[in-house]
C-alpha cells in the first residue's frame, strides 16, 4: 500500500504522542506538579534536585512566633522549616485556615515547609499521644489547605509515632496511611518518621523501606530519621544512611542535635555525611525547648541576634546551613 510523506509524518507524530504521553521519572511514576522523588533523590516542581537545609519549629506550641521565626531563618540561609502542627489532641487544633496561613508565610519567605503532626509523638508510651491513623484523619480533614500547594509543602505524616511494643505495627500501618492519603487526593511528597522515637533502633524502617516505598502509588515518599544518642559516632551515621543510598531510597535527617537525653550525638558526622551524599537535614530546633532540653535551642528566647553554641554550629559551622543551603528553584524570578 502506498503511503504519502504527509501520511507518514502524521503517523509518526501520533505514535510519538502515544509513546511519550505524560513525562515519567526513572522510577516509573509520572511527574507531578510538586515535589517528586526519583532514583532516591528529591526534585522540586521545576525538576531540579532539592536538598533540605533548615531547622524545626513547634508552631503548635508557639504560633505567635512562627511569622518572625520563618523570616529570621530565611535571612540566615535556611531553605526549609519543619513545622509542628496539632490535631487538637495535645494542643489547640491547627485548622485548615491556620495551615493555609503557615504555608503562605513559608511562601512569602521563599521557604519550603515540611508540615508534621506532633500529637503522635511517643504513641504507646505517652498517654496523650494519638496513633498515626488519627494523624491521617487530620490531614484528610484539612486537605483543602494542602491541595494546590504541592510545590511548596511536604507532608510528614506523623512525628515519632511508634515506640516500645508497637514497633512491629510500623510497616503495615505506614503503608495503610500512605494509601489513605493518596485515595484522598493528596499527591504531595510524603515523609514517614522512623519508629523507636524516630531513631529506628530496631531497624524496622530501614529493613521495610523498600516495601513501604513501593506501596505508595505515587512513588513519592521520603524516609525520615531522627539522629540523637543512637548516632553517637560516625560509623553509625555512615552505615545507616548508606543503606538507603545503596538502595536508591530517599532519606532525610529531619531531627538531630549535638546531644540529648540518651547521650552525645556526632553532629559533625551527620552534617558531613549529609553534605557528601546530598541528603537533607533539619536541625532541632530554633527555640522554645522545655527546660530539660533547653540547651537544644539555636537562639535564646527566639532572638535571632542571640545564637547559642548549637545555633552557631548548625548555621555557621562546617557543612552548616549557611554554607550549604540552596533556595528551591520554584522561587526563582
Residue 254: what pLDDT?
98
89-101 mean pLDDT: 97
Q: Write the DSSP symbol of residue 30.
A: B
pLDDT digit string, tens, across residues 180-233: 999 999 999 999 999 999 999 999 999 999 999 999 999 999 999 999 999 999
Catalytic residue among 150, 160, 218, 327: 160
Catalytic residue among 255, 267, 273, 327: 255
The angle at the Cα of 286, spanning 201 to 47, to the nearest 5 degrees, equals 75
Note whether 173 and 132 are within 8 A (CB). Answer: yes
- Segment (H or E) for 165: none
296-307 mean pLDDT: 97
Query: Quick check: is 64 catalytic?
Result: no
In this structure, the chain runs to a length of 333
Rounded Cα–Cα distance for residues 194 and 119 (Å): 15
Using the CB atoms, write b or e for 300-316: b if 16+ within 10 Å. Answer: eebebeebbebbebbbe
15-42 mean pLDDT: 63
Residue 263 — left, alpha, or beta (φ > 0 → left; ψ -120 to 50 → alpha)? left
The angle at the Cα of 249, spanning 245 to 250, to the nearest 5 degrees, equals 95
pLDDT digit string, tens, across residues 246-278: 999 999 999 999 999 888 999 999 999 999 999
**Which residue in 171, 159, 278, 157 sits closest to 220, CA to CA?**
157
Reported as half-sphere exposure (CB side, CA atoms, 13 A), residue 254 has a value of 31
Residue 28: what pLDDT?
52
The angle at the Cα of 152, spanning 146 to 156, to the nearest 5 degrees, equals 65
**Residue 321: all three cell numbers together:** 546551613
Write down the pTM of the prediction.
0.90
Query: Quick check: is 218 catalytic?
Result: no
167-177 mean pLDDT: 97
Amino acid at each position: 500500500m502506498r503511503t504519502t510523506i504527509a501520511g507518514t509524518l502524521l503517523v509518526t507524530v501520533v505514535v510519538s504522542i502515544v509513546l511519550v504521553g505524560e513525562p515519567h521519572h526513572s522510577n516509573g511514576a509520572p511527574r507531578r506538579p510538586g515535589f517528586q522523588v526519583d532514583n532516591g533523590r528529591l526534585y522540586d516542581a521545576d525538576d531540579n534536585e532539592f536538598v533540605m537545609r533548615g531547622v524545626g519549629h513547634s508552631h503548635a506550641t508557639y504560633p505567635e512566633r512562627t511569622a518572625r521565626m520563618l523570616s529570621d531563618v530565611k535571612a540566615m540561609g535556611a531553605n526549609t522549616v519543619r513545622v509542628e502542627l496539632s490535631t487538637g489532641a495535645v494542643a489547640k487544633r491547627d485548622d485548615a485556615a491556620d495551615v493555609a496561613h503557615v504555608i503562605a508565610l513559608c511562601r512569602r519567605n521563599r521557604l519550603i515547609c515540611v508540615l508534621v503532626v506532633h500529637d503522635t509523638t511517643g504513641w504507646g508510651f505517652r498517654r496523650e499521644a494519638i496513633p498515626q491513623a488519627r494523624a491521617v484523619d487530620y490531614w484528610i480533614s484539612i486537605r483543602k489547605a494542602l491541595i494546590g500547594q504541592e510545590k511548596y509543602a511536604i507532608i510528614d505524616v506523623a512525628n515519632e509515632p511508634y515506640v516500645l511494643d508497637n514497633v512491629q505495627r510500623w510497616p503495615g500501618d505506614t503503608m495503610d496511611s500512605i494509601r489513605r492519603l493518596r485515595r484522598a487526593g493528596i499527591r504531595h511528597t510524603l515523609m514517614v518518621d522512623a519508629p523507636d522515637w524516630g531513631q529506628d533502633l530496631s531497624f524496622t524502617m530501614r529493613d521495610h523501606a523498600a516495601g513501604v516505598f513501593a506501596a505508595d502509588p505515587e512513588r513519592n515518599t521520603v524516609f525520615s530519621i531522627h539522629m540523637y544518642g543512637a548516632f553517637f559516632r560516625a560509623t553509625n551515621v555512615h552505615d545507616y544512611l548508606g543503606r538507603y543510598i545503596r538502595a536508591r531510597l530517599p532519606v532525610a535527617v529531619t531531627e538531630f542535635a549535638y546531644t540529648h537525653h540518651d547521650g552525645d550525638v556526632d553532629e559533625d558526622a551527620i552534617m558531613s555525611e549529609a553534605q557528601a551524599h546530598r541528603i537533607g537535614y533539619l536541625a532541632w530546633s530554633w527555640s522554645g525547648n522545655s527546660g530539660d532540653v533547653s540547651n537544644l535551642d539555636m537562639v535564646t528566647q527566639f532572638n535571632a541576634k542571640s545564637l547559642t553554641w548549637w545555633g552557631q554550629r548548625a548555621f555557621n559551622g562546617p557543612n552548616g546551613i549557611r554554607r550549604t543551603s540552596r533556595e528551591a528553584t520554584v522561587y526563582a524570578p
